[in-house]
Amino acid sequence: MSDRIVPTKPHISRRAHVASFDHYQRLYRESVDDPSGFWRRQAERIDWFHPFERACEQDFDRAEVAWYLGGKLNAAFNCIDRHLVERGEQNAIVWVGDEPGTYRQITFRELHDRVGRLANVLRRHGVQKGDRVCIYLPMIPEAVYAMLACARIGAVHSVVFAGFSAESLKNRIEDADCRVVLTANEGLRGGKTIPLKQTVDQAIEDLPVRTVLVARRTDAAVPMRAGRDLWLADEMERQRAYCPVQWQDSEDPLFVLYTSGSTGKPKGQLHTTGGYLVYAGYTHQLVFDWHPGDVHFCAADIGWVTGHSYVVYGPLANGATTVLFESTPVYPDASRYWQVCDDVQAAIFYTAPTALRALLRFGDEPVKKYRRDSIRVLGSVGEPINPEVWQWYHDVVGEGRCAVVDTWWQTETGGILISALPGATPCKPGSATFPLPGVRPVLVDEHGEVLTGDGVSGNLCLAGSWPGQARTIWNDHERFRQTYFTTYPGLYFTGDGCRRDEDGYYWITGRVDDVLNVAGHRLGTAEIESALVAHEFCAEAAVVGFPHDVKGTGIQAYVIPGKAADGVPPEEIEAVLKQQVRKAIGPIATPDRIQIVPGLPKTRSGKIMRRILRKIGEANYQDLGDISTLAEPHVVELIVQGHKAAR
């Protein structure tokens, strides 16, 4: 770990919202001395149709949290309508298509028109306040229109990442009981087409979905089922642009977003309207030091929470121009991000360490091909950033001029909680640095004792609520309470391990539960295991992570073959099972390695000792700990031999 301090840059501090470390500390103190006053002031950044009465009510023992009680507002109104007078002709969205050089500008006025029409289409097809609408779209403007159209009429969107398989999509549509689905005939990414409509058709075969609205992204013809499937553009053409705003209670749901946990079934995190929007706007402005006129380029997909908060809601609530990027960091070559930064004159660029690690392999030349002189702030999210990669981002991409912010947060937190602030925070490469004003991290040891002082390591919890916090798991509040509020009573438990160093800097060390962070995507080991055992070639499976150069964490599966695999060559079993996981979850969950094993290390009570499997996966064979208490200690040696042979 690096303890080198990178000081703030005077030219950034001079115009920053938070201009020095003293200023940050003052704000922080104010926020903890009077949280209610602090969050009341933050709420003034958005427009309320009816003012709220109380800032917050919270009871972590019951997992009950509510913000801005009694207030009424509308998220789409805040992201569009209120900007029309001053910024009607400013670009709200710059869409960057997959093929280099494809750009489309959408002003706030056009956005208002498009969102209004789409909202009227939804109403026409029977969508009412509180109904869930599934969005399975690629990174095209219609995806943003659809999210905001739902928000406008009080419907709850459930965006599903367009890389998920039919089976995953089906589970999510079913869980949230969506009756309307938006998709595209095909997606286009990195020059390849993705058969989205076909996947939807498979997913909803047995579900009571009544309407599928299909955007046309390519020229491909797709089967359209009469009475159910409609072309989105035709439907929008038929509607007027004006759609009245449905004023929402602050605590009315805004969206559900599924994320993996340590059990097999993804959880639908529910975010509500007032608190989420205030928090997205607050963090977008502070962490990226956004100023009017700055173009904000977050490369995340809208299928993840980063896309929700920092492609759509945060920037648009603040009146920013936001970039919607359809392609990949390496299409057509490794300079694509920097080309786009120049073309759109991005002031802020935000991506994941996995993308930076992939780019770093191509060296500095693709970066230097472009000027990047519009960039002021470079952000990182989704996984720990290695100090070397941080340094490269800072020195090469940012030419030492830009502020680098490593932002820690989760789907559950709605927005960034721990991050440096440009112009205020001296950085230590690899550390997310300090909590934002209003955020109270707490480290707890394995006995539940709160660790005070600096130079300590433990599990990361949060004391007290913040407005962006998820309110429940869709249809399963007890699971919400159990998962986050029972491990350490009175605290929200994040599932991450963390060190607070001698200077009070926070270093996130990774998940302490059975969740893997693969290329910045969250996957539950149990989810991958259930996908594997669903195939007759697999009798039993155990999945662990191992260090991976690009993805951060790779997926290693240990598999006991089923009877049906008798006589099948191991390479074939491997290939079939990889395909099985792609089909069940999606390509992002494909195991990097599958090792066929004769047995798994289990305790006498049948619990799989993952600790041992993780060590073997890391090729750390020496340090397996005490294995004498296992039911069949000899299998460990066999697995080690198999692992060595495979390497």
Q: Is 576 exposed, middle or buried (0-12, 13-18, 19+ CB in 10 A)?
A: middle
Task: Please give the span between the terminal C-alpha atoms of the chain, in angstroms, as a whole number.
Answer: 28
**C-beta closer to ligand PRX: residue 394 or 535:** 394
**C-beta closer to ligand PRX: residue 137 or 300:** 300
**Contact pick of 384, 423, 429, 552 for ligand PRX (by CB under 6 A):** 384
Beta-carbon neighbour count of residue 69 at 10 Å? 15
Q: At 540, which helix (H) or strand (E)?
A: strand 538-548
> Which residues, 6 or more positions from 21, have their beta carbon under 8 angstroms from its beta carbon?
8, 424, 425, 426
Q: How far is the CB of 257 from ligand PRX (least distance, A)?
A: 9
| Both tokens assigned to 153 | 């009429």
- The answer to whether 408 contacts ligand PRX (rule: CB under 6 A) is yes
- The answer to whether 211 contacts ligand PRX (rule: CB under 6 A) is no
**What does the per-residue mask of binding to ligand PRX show for 81-120, with x meaning CB under 6 A?**
----------------------------------------
Contact set for ligand PRX, span 488-507 (CB under 6 A): 494-496
Contact in structure between 162 and 200 (CB atoms under 8 Å): no
Q: How far is the CB of 84 from ligand PRX (least distance, A)?
A: 31
**C-beta closer to ligand PRX: residue 154 or 552:** 552
Stretch that binds ligand PRX, among 404-412, 441-449, 537-545, 573-581 (CB under 6 A): 404-412
Q: How far is the CB of 452 from ligand PRX (least distance, A)?
A: 23
Instruction: Label each residue of 72-131 as H, E or C.
Output: EECHHHHHCHHHHHHHCCCEEEEEECCCCCCEEEEEHHHHHHHHHHHHHHHHHCCCCCCC
- The answer to whether 259 contacts ligand PRX (rule: CB under 6 A) is yes
Q: How far is the CB of 493 from ligand PRX (least distance, A)?
A: 11
- The answer to whether 406 contacts ligand PRX (rule: CB under 6 A) is yes
**Contact pick of 285, 411, 469, 590 for ligand PRX (by CB under 6 A):** 411
| Both tokens assigned to 244 | 């009245």
HSE-up of 268 (CA within 13 Å, CB side)?
27
**C-beta closer to ligand PRX: residue 75 or 352:** 352
**Contact pick of 38, 310, 409, 493 for ligand PRX (by CB under 6 A):** 409
Q: How far is the CB of 498 from ligand PRX (least distance, A)?
A: 9
- The answer to whether 381 contacts ligand PRX (rule: CB under 6 A) is yes
Contact in structure between 311 and 87 (CB atoms under 8 Å): no
Q: Which residue has the tokens 């397996």?
A: 624
Rounded CA-CA distance 590/423 in Å is 41
**C-beta closer to ligand PRX: residue 188 or 404:** 404
Q: How far is the CB of 70 from ligand PRX (least distance, A)?
A: 30
Residue nearest to ligand PRX as judged by C-beta position:
411
Q: Is 381 exposed, middle or buried (0-12, 13-18, 19+ CB in 10 A)?
A: buried
Rounded CA-CA distance 237/227 in Å is 18
CA 396 → CA 64, 297, 355, 376, 402, distances in Å? 46, 18, 15, 13, 10
Phi then psi for residue 43, to 5 deg, are -70, -20
CA neighbor of 450 nearest in space, from 437, 439, 462, 438: 462
For 624, the 3-state DSSP assignment is coil
- The answer to whether 303 contacts ligand PRX (rule: CB under 6 A) is no
The residue count for binding ligand PRX (CB under 6 A) is 21
For 356, the 3-state DSSP assignment is helix
Contact set for ligand PRX, span 168-197 (CB under 6 A): none
**Contact pick of 111, 160, 421, 508 for ligand PRX (by CB under 6 A):** 508
Stretch that binds ligand PRX, among 71-79, 407-415, 461-469, 577-585 (CB under 6 A): 407-415
Please give the distance of CA 239 from its chain centroid, rounded to a whole number: 33
**What does the per-residue mask of binding to ligand PRX show for 426-445, with x meaning CB under 6 A?**
------x-------------
- The answer to whether 74 contacts ligand PRX (rule: CB under 6 A) is no
Rounded CA-CA distance 124/131 in Å is 14
Stretch that binds ligand PRX, among 155-163, 326-334, 402-410, 475-483 (CB under 6 A): 402-410
**Contact pick of 8, 165, 199, 306 for ligand PRX (by CB under 6 A):** 306
Stretch that binds ligand PRX, among 36-44, 163-171, 367-375, 405-413 (CB under 6 A): 405-413
> Which residues, 6 or more positions from 408, have their beta carbon under 8 angstroms from its beta carbon?
381, 416, 417, 418, 419, 432, 496, 506, 508
Rounded CA-CA distance 347/338 in Å is 12
**C-beta closer to ligand PRX: residue 185 or 431:** 431
**Contact pick of 335, 407, 425, 431 for ligand PRX (by CB under 6 A):** 407
- The answer to whether 517 contacts ligand PRX (rule: CB under 6 A) is yes
In the complex, the residues that contact ligand PRX under the rule CB under 6 A are 259, 305-306, 381-384, 406-411, 432, 494-496, 508, 511, 517, 522
